[in-house]
Chain A
Amino acid sequence: MNDSGDSGSIAWFIFALGPGTGIAIWAWIQAKYRNKNARYKPESTVAHTITSVVQDDAFTRKIVSRSRSITGRNDSSHHDRARVSGVVRGNG
């Protein structure tokens, strides 16, 4: 059972190699020539000082998931704005 499952997985991987190669070449050409993701990176180039950080984390519930990470993970996507974002002028 396990052997047949493993050989099946390997077979599908080998099936995907051809189309995968094409997709990878196309993506490489796009990235190299068009640079669509190139942009100003203030987080690494602008002088800024974080003078204080307040943390407040509270347990909400236990969950069971089939996904390796939290749905909608964006903690490393600094340039993408959250679903709700706002600007307040003043101390509010």
Chain B
Amino acid sequence: MTAEEPAPGAGNPDVAAGTPAEAADALDYVVLTTPEGHADGVVRCQRCGATEVQYSASNGTLRCAFCRYTWTEQSLDQIMGLSEGIADLVGTTVSSAAVDIEAGTALVTIKCTGCGAEVVINTDQNLSARCHWCKHTLSINNQVPNGAVPDGILPVSVTKEQAMLSIQAFVDERKTFAHPAFAANFKAENVMGFYMPYMTVDGNVVVRLDGAGEILRKTVRVNDKETEYHADEYAVMRELSMVVDDLIVETSSDKVDIHSTTSTNNIINAVLPFDVKNIVRFNSNFLGSEYTSERRDMDVDAAEAYAAGHFMTLARAGALPTLGNYNRGVRWESEQVSIKGSRWVAVLLPVWLYGFVETRGGRQITHYIAVNGRTGATMGSVPINRKKAHLVAWGTAAIVSAVTWPIAIVLLVLGA
């Protein structure tokens, strides 16, 4: 099947234009069934049957609070074979949790298997709750068609204390010109553990790049100031076949635009990548009460343009070593990615996040400092004390100019 449509994110430099939006309806998907998780409702300890199950970030295991038995979930990569057969992918394959979202199903009712009561969970905010009658911990582990439950989760391994230290160190290096309100209110302990929705994407793709390249043949000095460059111009074409394993694409429409003018989403984007090979089958006990999660609100259809942009980026980097002859450079004018096959899996990945809202000129900008919940990679945007920054930058400029301009004037006078 071949289709070409106008871009959904025209003007966004990360989005490949011309995604086949209409071609991406659910009927074209091959659904890769995620192995059944625990039944919705009570999740019991595998040894004693208690429902007081907690996740230990420092050990990376689930632990029964009653009998202290510890265990972890199976690797999603192994049980679904996600590292295999990428070169043979044809068409669009999506996992059970990556199928299109059905709207209006944020509230889910689950029956407590302890006492039979019906408990409502708002999956926009929680994937577990307590039965108000028998106090059993209830959870949703099997997919509901609203994007709330993913196939897999990468349990957080960076503890809150480690995240606080990273964020504190990041801010300490940026104290001098920090916005006064930020400096006054900053408290590292306000960092929040948060699971963001992503999809991992495997791709069997062909990328064609077309443009112009120039090879310098000679230079001619025209006068004291100008030089002419004589060159041969070539039409340059590169076509790269690629197999891509575990590209990561955001699937929260609120966070996917890294060029947002109201939110420093690029900071969250910059703490990628994650060790996605270690993703395990989803179990809501990994979230516990300390971490929140966000519901996926983008389908494969919407995320595909971002993945295609990344495929092009990979191809552009891959083509660079073949351009050595073009010593005046190459101008790529056209790029086209042909997605022969792709495989999409919905996952939750852990991020520690600190947010601060700056109001400037009636406009609000949310600044984030983010810590990758697995690797500890830290990135942030600290709002600037602009008055102080202006004073230092232009004050220094004035002082340097006060010394250098008289010298320059003397030189000009003497030269004339």
Contacts and interface: CB of A to CB of B under 8 A. Distances in A.
A22 B336 CA distance: 42
Question: Chain B interface mostly helix, strand, loop or mixed?
Answer: mixed
Contacts of A2: 224
A74 B331 contact: yes
B384 to A, nearest CB: 5
B400 A21 contact: yes
Interface stretch (B64-72, B96-104, B127-135, B233-241): B233-241
Contact of A25 (B2, B273, B393): B393
Contacts of A3: 415
B237 A57 contact: yes
B interface residue count range (under 10 / 10 to 19 / 20 to 34 / 35 or more): 35 or more
Given A88-B4, A88-B338, A53 B238 contact: yes
B184 interface: no
Interface in B1-47: 1-4, 13-20, 23-24
B379 interface: yes
Interface in A16-66: 17-23, 25-26, 29-30, 32-40, 42-66
B326 interface: yes
Contacts of A15: 404-405, 408
Contact of A40 (B269, B328, B416): B269
A14 to B, nearest CB: 4
Interface string B398-409: 111110110111
A92 B328 CA distance: 32
Interface string B161-185: 0000000000001100110000000
Given A50-B318, A87-B339, A69 B329 contact: yes
B386 to A, nearest CB: 9
A3 B414 CA distance: 11
A43 B332 contact: no
B130 to A, nearest CB: 37
B227 A73 contact: no
Interface string B203-238: 000000101111001000000101111111111111
Contacts of B24: 89
Contacts of A52: 240-241
A75 B389 contact: no
B242 A45 contact: no
Contacts of A87: 4, 16-20, 304-305, 308, 336-339
A57 B214 CA distance: 11
Given A32-B174, A65-B229, A79-B14, A55 B393 contact: no
Interface of B: 1-4, 13-20, 23-24, 87, 92, 173-174, 177-178, 209, 211-214, 217, 224, 226-248, 258, 264, 266-267, 269-270, 272-273, 304-305, 308-310, 312-314, 316-320, 322-323, 326, 328-340, 379-384, 389-390, 392-394, 396-402, 404-405, 407-409, 411-412, 414-416
Given A70-B212, A85-B312, 13 more contacts: A21-B397, A36-B266, A39-B270, A42-B247, A42-B313, A46-B273, A48-B314, A54-B239, A66-B229, A70-B329, A79-B14, A88-B4, A89-B339
The 8 closest A-B pairs by CB, nearest first: A22-B397, A18-B401, A86-B18, A92-B2, A38-B270, A73-B329, A43-B317, A11-B411
